[in-house]
Amino acid sequence: MRRMSIEKKRRLHGLLFMSPWIIGLLLFWLYPLVYSLVMSLNKIVIQAEDLVWTFIGFANYNDIMLKDTGFWDQWIPFFMKSVFMIPIIILFSIISALFLNQKFPGRGLFRAVFFLPVLFTTGGVIISLLTANSGGGVGAVGTTNTLTLEFLQDQNLRAFIQTNFDARLSNTIIDILNSFVIILWYSGVQTVLLLAGLQSISPSVYEAATIDGANGWERLWKITLPGLVPFILIVAVYSVVDQFTMPSNPMMGLISRNMYETTRGMGYASAMGWIYVAFIMFLLAIIFLVFRKAFVQKVR
């Protein structure tokens, strides 16, 4: 019997190690993905013992895009809020990482404190904060699913924003300010990733720049930020996915509600989910396109 070559053995061992992930990918990701796509092309009625499928093609997509005003009433404000919040989260994460990368007493404790909210947001604590109605200080308003800041009510900032900005834009700005505590809470993972990026930059590069006469501001723009470009891309992608799947996401609730409505059903909700995913993929494509130009400039 012919013996297996070392190269084939290595490939086989690699496949064996990867097999649990491959099986999980096929069963728990690819199969549900294809199944939901098929559902979106059908009208599905729930009966006592089974689901009745009726193929209707792209009718669900047409109804959502052209007839369902409720979808756009939920999507447009949420999208505008997310487009503003994601850069704020990334900027705050960069500033936090730059601060935590400095040498000062108690640096390890500060790093733990910055990452501590991540442990809370993975459980039911953040959901309680989003839905509770404490009514004072940094309280939560259950009807809007956001943590409100008291200074918006104490001062005339809300009236100033509403007077000087378009109605839809002013509502977005106020909503972001109300959610600023949540923005801080959702920056922990990003800060850790950017901190790892900062530590991957060789100190000898900074030493050489200092010898050449570069000041701190020049080192930041010429060395630090260019070196962080790959990590900022990772943080941007993570922030988009995290923002569009957070517990207070109104679109997730809208899809869930439509799933069990008798006039719409699972097929309609699946089509709505695919449209939602298409918007997210479009946003991610823009991010990759922007960072692709940054990578090209960095190489040059």
- DSSP string for residues in 64-78: HHHT-HHHHHHHHHH
Q: Output 137 or 69, whichever has higher pLDDT.
A: 69
Banded model confidence at residue 51, pLDDT cuts 50, 70, 90: confident
Q: What are phi and psi of 143, to 5 degrees?
A: -75, -25
Give a yes or no: residue 68 inside a domain: yes
Q: What is the pLDDT of residue 160?
A: 66
Least confident span in 62-66, 69-73, 88-92, 123-127: 123-127
Position 45 in a domain? no
Same domain, yes or no, for 245 and 159?
yes
> What's the CA gap between 156 and 204, in Å, rounded?
51
pLDDT of residue 138: 36
The tokens of 180 are what? 């600023």
pLDDT (tens digit per residue) in 176-219: 666 666 677 778 888 889 998 999 998 899 899 889 888 888 89
> What is the rounded CA–CA span in Å between residue 97 and residue 232?
12
Distance between CA atoms of residues 179 and 173, nearest Å: 10
| Lowest-pLDDT range of 77-81, 129-133, 293-297 | 129-133
Dist CA 56 CA 210 (whole Å): 67
Q: Mark whether 105 and 177 lie in a shared domain.
A: yes
Residues 22 and 65 in one domain: no
- Pair 114, 230 in one domain: yes
Let me know whether 125 and 230 are in one domain: yes
Asked if the model's pLDDT at residue 106 lies above 90, the reply is no
pLDDT score, position 285? 92
> Is residue 143 over pLDDT 50?
no
Q: Are residues 144 and 215 in the same domain?
A: yes
| 3-class secondary structure, 143 | coil
Q: In the prediction, which pLDDT does 155 show?
A: 53
Under the banding of pLDDT at 50, 70 and 90, the label for residue 126 is low
Q: How many CA atoms lie within 13 A of 235 on its CB side?
A: 27
Q: Residue 96 is part of which domain span?
A: 59-299
Q: In whole angstroms, what is the distance from residue 241 CA to residue 279 CA?
A: 12
Is residue 295 situated within a structural domain?
A: yes
For residue 34, pLDDT over 90 is answered with yes
Q: Is the pLDDT of residue 142 over 50?
A: no
12 and 126 inside one domain:
no
pTM for the full predicted model: 0.74
For residue 57, give the DSSP letter: T
Dist. CA 255–CA 81, nearest whole Å: 19
In this predicted structure, the answer to whether residue 137 has a pLDDT above a threshold of 50 is no
Asked whether 228 and 51 are in contact (CB, 8 A), the reply is no
In a domain, 289, yes or no: yes
Please write the tens of the pLDDT for every residue from 219-248.
Answer: 989 899 888 999 999 999 999 988 888 766
Beta-bridge partner residues of 45: 52
For 141, the enclosing helix (H) or strand (E) is: strand 140-141
Q: Can you tell me the mean pLDDT for 62-90?
A: 87
pLDDT value at position 113? 72
Please check whether residue 151 lies inside any domain of the structure.
Answer: yes
Domain identity same for 123 and 260: yes
Residue 51 is assigned to a structural domain of this protein: no
Indicate if 112 and 1 belong to the same structural domain.
no
pLDDT at 41: 93
Helices (H), the chain: 6-25, 31-40, 59-66, 69-100, 107-121, 125-131, 151-154, 157-164, 167-178, 180-185, 188-200, 203-211, 216-219, 225-243, 250-259, 265-299
Tell me whether residue 75 is in a domain.
yes
Q: Give the total number of structural domains in the chain.
A: 2
| Residue 247 falls inside a structural domain | yes
Same domain, 85 and 174: yes
Length of the chain: 300
Residues 136 and 1 in one domain: no
**Same domain, yes or no, for 165 and 82?**
yes
What pLDDT sits at residue 120?
A: 61
